[in-house]
Amino acid sequence: MILELVFLAFVKFSCAFEGFVVRGDKAQIEYFAHSVFLSIRDFGGAYVCGSSILNQKILLTAAHCFESCSASNVNAFVGNAHKSRGLKYRVSSFKIHENYDEDEIKNDIGLAVLERPLALGDNVKRVAILKSPPNKKLAIVAGWGLIDEEDGVRSSWLHSSNQKVWTLSECRRVLPGIPTGSLCAGDTTETSYASEGDSGSALIINDYIQVGLVSFKRPDTTRGLVVYSNVSYFYNWIKLEQAIWRIHSLPHMVLHANDYAL
């Protein structure tokens, strides 16, 4: 059975889906230096997603952000909490999980490869991806966009929201059909949550460990509950895709293990 689900955002555009942190706190980039703003354009207009930095060349995001898109229409902005004031990097290619299912929203994960390496620093940092991350009940998500759903108010600034990570059994009681490889999290007060444009944005614990990325939510359940792709579930896939990219890049550039390690 296919559940009535919505990507973040609620409206499907020709190239991407949007989602944002509603009523979150205005964030400083130094605390979310892994956050990358993705600007996506096609004949239908401009769309946004979030992403995180895996290494100097590869970003981690949601597969549905790149559905039907051309890499030449995607730009990444890093190093600034204002979405258009960061350093601009063009995306040269992207990889969507080969088993991504847009109807049941399974395996909603993808990688974007940048044309040139990022310059890492205080405001541009990598996330850590662990196969077995610490079992934390509190996490945080940050993104750009709507800060008021009712009035459609958008923000150019990064906003963050503290999230409670639900157990899988808790999540399945509310969402019986949650896809394998997913996790649930939400603000307990339902006053601050991911909504329209946060798709692909990182769910973080311990300041730098990424445990999830924004995927979708059910409009008929608690509005504060968001389903994330469980990054640790896809650890081996991420590691394999990075290794493939590294091999293909060897003839063209000198790689340093510390810069491009998982």
Positive or negative: CA dihedral 206, 211, 214, 218 = negative
Q: Which CATH number characterizes residue 114's domain?
A: 2.40.10.120
Separation in Å, CA 136 to CA 59, 109, 140: 24, 22, 11
Query: Residue 258 pLDDT more than 80?
Result: no
Q: What is the mean pLDDT of residues 189-201?
A: 65
pLDDT of 11: 35
For residue 2, what pLDDT is reported?
32
Q: What is the pLDDT of residues 67-77, one digit of tens each?
A: 878 899 999 99
Residue 115 structural domain: 1-262
Confirm if 23 and 192 have CB atoms less than 8 A apart.
yes
Task: Compute the average pLDDT of residues 20-39.
Answer: 83
Question: What's the rounded mean pLDDT across residues 12-17?
Answer: 38
The predicted structure's pLDDT at residue 153? 57
To the nearest 10°, report the CA torsion of 178, 184, 189, 195. Answer: -80
The pLDDT tens digits of the residues spanning 121-165 come to 999 999 999 999 999 999 999 998 665 555 555 678 999 989 999
- What are the backbone angles phi and psi of residue 30, rounded to the nearest 5°? -65, -25
Residue 108 confidence (pLDDT): 97
Domain count within the chain? 1
Among the ranges given (52-66, 97-111, 139-153), the one the predictor scored with the smallest mean pLDDT: 139-153
Query: How crowded is residue 167: how many other Cβ atoms within 10 Å of its Cβ?
Result: 12
Are 59 and 116 spatial neighbours (Cβ–Cβ below 8 Å)? no
Per-residue confidence (pLDDT) for residue 186, from 0 to 100: 86
Query: What residue has token string 């909504």?
Result: 195
pTM of the model: 0.85
| Three-class SS of the chain | CCCCCEECCCCECCCCECEEEECCEECCHHHCCCEEEEEEEECCEEEEEEEEECCCCEEEECHHHHCCCCHHHEEEEECCCECCCCEEEEEEEEEECCCCECCCCECCCEEEEECCCCCCECCECCCECCCCCCCCCEEEEEEEEEEECCCCEEEEEEEEEEEEECCHHHHHHHCCCCCCCEEEEECCCCCCEEEECCCCCEEEECCCEEEEEEEEECCCCCCCEEEEEEHHHHHHHHHHHHHHHHHHHCCCCCCCHHHHCC
Asked if residue 60 has pLDDT above 90, the reply is yes
Q: Residues 220-254: pLDDT tens digits?
A: 666 678 999 999 999 999 999 999 988 877 654 44
Lowest mean pLDDT segment, chosen from 92-106, 125-139, 154-168, 187-201: 187-201
Q: Phi/psi at 145 (nearest 5 deg)? A: 135, -135
The mean predicted confidence, pLDDT, of the chain is: 82
